[in-house]
């Protein structure tokens, strides 16, 4: 009986082990499809990660660090608005606004590899090409040649004095011997006005000051006058608006004889409504000297992409003009006319980006005599 019971117990334990083994096998069989499924997901994730790593360099946005003038300047304000539109319209690029002490710093910065975009004027290109003034000796430092790719607006420069001095200072020549702020040293507006003063024989005492103190210094008499300027004959710089809060300045126009002398020296002359400054400037028309400004990129940005940029600006010219009056000259057919005039101002000074050349050719606005000035990768 005992043997029988022992055999029974042993048989029961064996059956239990068999049952347990079968249960484990059953559980493993049930879990195997899940493990295989999870393994496939993991492998797919790893493959996707590897593919993303491989694809990222060609698919990622390309950054364009774009140099412009100082915060508070018209150039800085304009590029902020331009970047807003281009970043929306060209999602494969990302423009970052880089303020500098002045526009020529951006031209030099591009030429030495610091920026991909820069804020360049015809006067800066003139000095660069001639190896004079602010660009004297700079060519030896250049790593790449600046080119022209997008002309944006004209800047018109003039002069102002305190309104209480109107009876004493009546022409630009009357500024000789007086302390005058013609703008920060690196700025193109200063260079253009100083060239005009030189043409007229005006020998003033240049006063370098902080922009934020200009109005108070003029009001106190510590400076006799200051530069004023407009963009696109439609708006002015934020710092001039700020100076207007501290001093009652009056626009100082050159005399008729001075205007004739300036024209003979090759300066363009225009009259801008005083109302553009949104204050009483004590004259109906302000006589100013225009020159051309642009936001340019080099050959690192392909011709097709520069063409796309120009088309995007043309398409959104009205919006840009609403954001900033500086862009008002681009509305309608103004975009084409601005490029034509800008190119003509600098065609002998710097090469033309092939993207700009394509834009102008497709609009029947290209001049065949510019053909030899189109840049190539070997320029």
How many separate domains does the chain show?
A: 2
Closest CA to 110 of 134, 82, 141: 141
Return the number of other C-beta atoms located less than 10 Å from residue 131's C-beta.
12
pLDDT (tens digit, 9 = 90+) per residue, 182-215? 999 999 999 999 999 999 999 999 989 999 999 9
Residue 60: pLDDT band with limits 50, 70, 90: confident
| Mean pLDDT value of segment 225-241 | 97
Q: Is the pLDDT of residue 167 over 70?
A: yes
**Upper half-sphere CA count for residue 63 (Cβ side, 13 Å):** 8
User: How many Å separate Cα 224 from the centre of its chain?
Assistant: 33
Residue 46: pLDDT band with limits 50, 70, 90: very low
What is the number of residues in the chain?
379
Instruction: Give me the pLDDT at residue 353, please.
Output: 99
DSSP bridge pairs for 68? 99
pLDDT (tens digit, 9 = 90+) per residue, 62-113? 999 999 999 999 999 999 999 999 999 999 999 999 999 999 999 999 999 9
Block residue for tokens 């796309």? 308
Instruction: Give me the pLDDT at residue 39, please.
Output: 57
Instruction: Give me the pLDDT at residue 268, please.
Output: 96
Cα–Cα distance between 156 and 228 in angstroms, integer?
Answer: 8
2 and 94 in a single domain? The answer is: no
255 and 343 in a single domain? The answer is: yes
377 and 240 in a single domain? The answer is: yes
> How does the average pLDDT of the chain come out, rounded?
90
SS (H, E, C) the chain: CHHHHHHHHHHHHHHHHHHHHHHHHHHHHHHHHHHHHHHHHHHHHHHHHHHHHHHHHHHCCEEEEEEECCCCCHHHHHHHHHHHHHHHHCCCEEEEEEECCCHHHHHHHHHCCCCCEEEEEHHHHHHHHHCCHHHCCHHHHCCCCCCECCEEEEEEEEEEEEHHHCCCCCCHHHHCCCEEECCCCCCHHHHHHHHHHHHHCCCCEECCCCHHHHHHHHHHCCCCEEEEEEECCCEECHHHHHHHHHCCEEEECCCHHHHHHHHHCCCCCEEEEHHHHCCCCCCCEEEEEEEEEEEEECCCCCHHHHHHHHHHHHHCHHHHHHHCHHHHHHCCCHHHHHHHHHHHHHCCCCCECHHHHHHHHHCCCCCHHHHHHECCCCC
Q: Is the pLDDT of residue 12 over 60?
A: no
33 and 73 in a single domain? The answer is: no
Cα–Cα distance between 224 and 165 in angstroms, integer?
Answer: 8
Among the candidates 60, 78, 94, a domain finishes at: 60
Residue 327: pLDDT band with limits 50, 70, 90: very high
363 and 219 in a single domain? The answer is: yes
Instruction: Give me the pLDDT at residue 35, please.
Output: 55
| Mean pLDDT value of segment 50-70 | 71
Among the candidates 60, 85, 104, a domain finishes at: 60
73 and 37 in a single domain? The answer is: no
Q: Is the pLDDT of residue 230 over 90?
A: yes
Q: Is the pLDDT of residue 21 over 80?
A: no
Among the candidates 9, 28, 60, a domain finishes at: 60
Q: Is the pLDDT of residue 143 over 80?
A: yes
pLDDT (tens digit, 9 = 90+) per residue, 244-266? 999 999 999 999 999 999 999 99
Q: Is the pLDDT of residue 42 over 70?
A: no
Closest CA to 117 of 90, 79, 91: 79
Q: Is the pLDDT of residue 27 over 80?
A: no
Share of the chain above pLDDT 70, in %: 84
Residue 16: pLDDT band with limits 50, 70, 90: very low
Instruction: Give me the pLDDT at residue 34, please.
Output: 52
40 and 82 in a single domain? The answer is: no
Closest CA to 332 of 347, 315, 349: 315
Instruction: Give me the pLDDT at residue 2, please.
Output: 39
Any idea what the CATH number is for the domain that residue 287 is in? Answer: 3.40.190.10
pTM above 0.95, yes or no: no
204 and 314 in a single domain? The answer is: yes
192 and 48 in a single domain? The answer is: no
Domain that holds residue 306: 62-379
220 and 255 in a single domain? The answer is: yes
Closest CA to 233 of 180, 287, 279, 193: 287
pLDDT (tens digit, 9 = 90+) per residue, 286-307? 999 999 999 999 999 999 999 9
| Mean pLDDT value of segment 268-280 | 98
28 and 72 in a single domain? The answer is: no
Q: Are 136 and 102 in contact (CB under 8 A)?
A: no
Closest CA to 231 of 292, 164, 322: 292
Cα–Cα distance between 194 and 202 in angstroms, integer?
Answer: 9
74 and 42 in a single domain? The answer is: no
Q: Is the pLDDT of residue 369 over 90?
A: yes
Cα–Cα distance between 92 and 309 in angstroms, integer?
Answer: 12
């Amino acid at each position: 009986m005992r043997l029988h019971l022992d055999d029974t117990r042993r048989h029961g334990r064996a059956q239990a082990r068999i049952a347990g083994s079968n249960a484990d096998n059953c559980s493993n069989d049930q879990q195997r499809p899940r493990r295989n499924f999870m393994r496939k997901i993991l492998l797919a994730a790893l493959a996707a990660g590897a593919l993303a790593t491989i694809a990222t360099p060609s698919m990622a946005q390309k950054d364009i660090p774009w140099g412009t003038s100082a915060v508070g300047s018209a150039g800085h304000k304009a590029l902020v608005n331009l970047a807003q539109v281009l970043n929306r319209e060209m999602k494969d690029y990302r423009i970052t606004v880089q303020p500098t002490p002045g526009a020529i710093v951006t031209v030099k910065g591009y030429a030495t590899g610091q920026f991909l975009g820069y804020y360049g004027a015809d006067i800066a290109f003139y000095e660069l090409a001639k190896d004079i003034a602010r660009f004297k000796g700079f060519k030896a430092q250049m790593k790449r040649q600046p080119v022209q790719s997008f002309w944006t607006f004209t800047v018109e420069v003039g002069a102002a004095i305190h309104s209480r001095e109107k009876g004493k200072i009546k022409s630009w020549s009357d500024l000789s011997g007086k302390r005058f702020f013609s703008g920060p040293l690196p700025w193109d507006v200063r260079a253009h006005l100083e060239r005009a003063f030189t043409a007229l024989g005006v020998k003033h005492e240049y006063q370098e000051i902080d922009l934020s103190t200009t109005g108070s210094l003029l009001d106190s008499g510590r400076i006799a006058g200051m530069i004023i300027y407009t963009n696109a004959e439609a708006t002015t710089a934020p710092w001039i608006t700020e100076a207007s809060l501290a001093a009652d300045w009056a626009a100082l126009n050159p005399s008729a004889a001075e205007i004739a002398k300036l024209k003979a020296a090759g300066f363009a002359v225009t009259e801008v409504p005083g109302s553009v400054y949104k204050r009483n400037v004590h004259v109906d028309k302000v006589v100013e000297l225009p020159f051309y400004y642009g936001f340019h990129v080099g050959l690192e940005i392909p011709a097709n992409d520069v063409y796309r940029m120009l088309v995007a600006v043309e398409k959104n010219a009205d919006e840009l003009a609403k954001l900033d009056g500086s862009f008002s000259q681009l509305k309608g057919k103004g975009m084409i006319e601005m490029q034509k005039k800008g190119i003509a101002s600098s065609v002998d000074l710097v090469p033309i980006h092939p993207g700009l050349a394509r834009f102008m050719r497709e609009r029947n606005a290209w001049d065949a005599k510019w053909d030899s000035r189109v840049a190539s990768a070997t320029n």
